[in-house]
Amino acid sequence: MDGLMQFTTEDGAAVVVEGVEDESGARLVSRGNGPAQAARTFESSLEGVRAAAESALRVFRDGALRPDAVELEFGVKLTAEAGAVIAKGSAEGHLVVKLSWSPEQGRTTAEAADRS
């Protein structure tokens, strides 16, 4: 079984996650019987992922495409030392982007009035 890591939220709540063995064979080690203590809070661990999501949304919303909706899916791995990292998928970093447009929202007011 992989080791457990404990993150603390900014409100003081404990969040325990299951750690995974990386490719080098390194494993989490804790003192005593409890989970390994993360060096950062849960929120600060996720800060880099939030910043990456904001940047990706800016790229897709501010371009010529102008989608009505943008959906981002990140694979996130939590580590005791580095916090949250975008997890590797099948070959590289994991990021799924879905853009959608609604036919109704693409019409101008004049086009909508012509159809009435």
> SS3 string of the chain?
CCCEEEEECCCCCEEEEECCCCCCCCCCCCCCCCCEECCCCHHHHHHHHHHHHHHHHHHHHCCCCCCCEEEEEECEEEECCCEEEECECCCCECEEEEEECCHHHHCCHHHHHHHC
**Residue 22: pLDDT above 60?**
no
Q: What pLDDT, in 10s, does the model give residues 41-61?
A: 889 988 988 998 999 999 998
**Residue 33: pLDDT above 90?**
no
Q: What pLDDT, in 10s, does the model give residues 1-20?
A: 357 888 899 999 998 887 65
For residue 36, name the pLDDT band (cuts at 50, 70, 90).
confident
Tell me the pTM. 0.63
